[in-house]
């Protein structure tokens, strides 16, 4: 599902998920399995990718500086261990699971996503979802996620300041 601050990633992930579901259905008659890994955060050095990115790809448009890199390092330190993730993914492949979601309750998480999509399909549902979003934001303010502590101050998910065509209006309330 789309999230503010990472629209390109969300769009790419949606494309991959839909592609994998299409392949899953199309290749099943040939006994070819397809699994799509939806891992969330992975303990890695992905935040340091700006140091190794090829010169012709360095202009991402995202705000990347020492503060955002430090935040990403902290953020992803809470992620799943890559070796543990590999074991979970292997088990998902062996069990012919299409969506491998390495969280304690994948069904609950996926149901929440489906419920949100259903809500976005009607005017009444939109109102219902808006109320749920307000409650979720209020809960997040009361009980902040340590993974996200410092995100706003670091400018995580924001456009670079030198992009004049981007107007930062602040968070939507």
d(CA 119, CA 117): 5
Q: What is the C-alpha R_g of the chain?
A: 19
What does the angle CA 152 – CA 11 – CA 23 come to, to the nearest 5 degrees?
Answer: 140
């990403």: which residue's tokens? 72
Q: Which of 9, 24, 76, 78 is catalytic?
A: 9
30 given a catalytic annotation: no
Nearest Cα neighbor of 96 from 38, 19, 35, 39 is: 35
Which residue numbers are catalytic?
A: 9
């Amino acid at each position: 599902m789309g999230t503010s601050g990472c629209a390109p990633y969300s769009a790419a992930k949606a494309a991959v998920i839909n592609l994998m579901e299409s392949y899953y259905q199309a290749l099943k008659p040939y006994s070819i399995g397809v699994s799509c890994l939806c891992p969330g955060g992975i303990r890695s050095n992905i935040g340091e990718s700006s140091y190794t990115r090829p010169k012709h790809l360095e202009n991402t448009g995202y705000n990347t500086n020492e503060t955002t890199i430090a935040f990403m390092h902290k953020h992803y330190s809470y992620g799943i261990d890559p070796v543990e993730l590999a074991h979970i993914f292997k088990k998902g492949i062996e069990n012919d699971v299409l969506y491998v979601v390495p969280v304690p309750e994948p069904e609950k998480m996926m149901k929440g996503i489906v419920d949100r999509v259903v809500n976005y399909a009607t005017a009444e549902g939109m109102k219902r979802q808006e109320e749920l979003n307000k409650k979720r934001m209020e809960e997040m303010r009361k009980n902040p996620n340590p993974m996200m502590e410092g995100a706003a101050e670091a400018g995580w998910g924001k456009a670079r300041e030198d992009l004049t065509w981007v107007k930062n209006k602040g968070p939507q309330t």
